[in-house]
């Protein structure tokens, strides 16, 4: 009896440790991915946030960035810059791989193996991107935005908890 309880707890914990997120690009095969991070995007007033997920592929990696939109003509398009905590910047070229599902638009940007090594060593500080769409009176906000790696909008100086996501550790675990 004494041996069964620790064995059950170990089995229970290992099940959650092995549970991993996946990402598929427009219905392709699933790739192992990080959790879906919610970065703060203060200037994007429609939702104030951007969802970010990174997957490991055979040829490097993929970044998925998505935002909530009011219509299906709004897209994240053009170049994108990933700012790292050490000051490095990874530029990403738009390959026109995007989708719109259930009031959200998502775009996919690809990383080389060398860029994935950089991402494994440094946390993402922010992602700079462009939102395009039509310009009617009640359309979505368009322009240049930055999604910051912050867990919450507000905190106090006395709060000593970590206020950003550990993206480097999650990417290294892929």
Number of domains in the chain: 1
DSSP state of 79: -
What is the token pair recorded at 76?
Answer: 């994240």
Instruction: Tell me whether residue 4 is in a domain.
Output: no
The domain in which residue 116 lies consists of 21-172
* Tens place of pLDDT per residue across the chain (174 aa): 455 544 444 444 444 444 468 887 877 788 999 999 999 998 888 888 999 999 999 999 999 999 999 888 889 999 999 999 999 999 999 898 999 888 899 999 999 999 999 999 999 999 999 999 876 656 678 899 999 998 876 666 777 777 789 999 999 998
Distances (CA, A) of 95 to 75, 116, 174: 13, 18, 24
The answer as to whether 11 is a domain residue is: no
pLDDT of residue 110: 94
Please check whether residue 134 lies inside any domain of the structure: yes
Q: What is the pLDDT of residues 147-160, one digit of tens each?
A: 999 887 666 677 77
- The structure tokens listed for 59 are 């040829």
Instruction: Look at residue 155 in the predicted model and tell me its pLDDT.
Output: 67
pTM, two decimals, is: 0.81
Cα 167 to Cα 83: distance, rounded to the nearest angstrom: 12
Cα(78)–Cα(95) distance, integer angstroms: 9
* Structural contact between residues 147 and 129, judged by C-beta atoms closer than 8 angstroms: yes
Within-domain flag for 5: no
């Amino acid at each position: 009896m004494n041996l069964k309880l620790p064995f059950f707890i170990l089995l229970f914990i290992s099940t959650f440790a092995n549970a991993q997120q996946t990402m598929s690009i427009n219905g392709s095969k699933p790739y192992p991915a990080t959790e879906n991070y919610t970065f703060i995007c203060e200037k994007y007033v429609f939702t104030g946030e951007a969802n970010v997920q990174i997957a490991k592929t055979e040829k490097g990696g993929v970044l998925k960035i998505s935002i909530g939109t009011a219509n299906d003509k709004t897209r994240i398009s053009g170049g994108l810059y990933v700012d790292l905590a050490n000051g490095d910047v990874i530029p990403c070229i738009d390959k026109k791989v995007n989708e719109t599902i259930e009031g959200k638009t998502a775009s996919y940007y690809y990383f080389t193996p060398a860029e994935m090594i950089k991402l494994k060593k440094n946390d993402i500080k922010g992602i700079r991107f462009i939102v395009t769409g039509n310009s009617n009176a009640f359309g979505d906000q368009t322009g240049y935005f930055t999604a910051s790696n912050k867990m919450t909008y507000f905190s106090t100086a006395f709060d000593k908890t970590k206020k950003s996501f550990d993206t480097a550790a999650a990417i290294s675990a892929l």
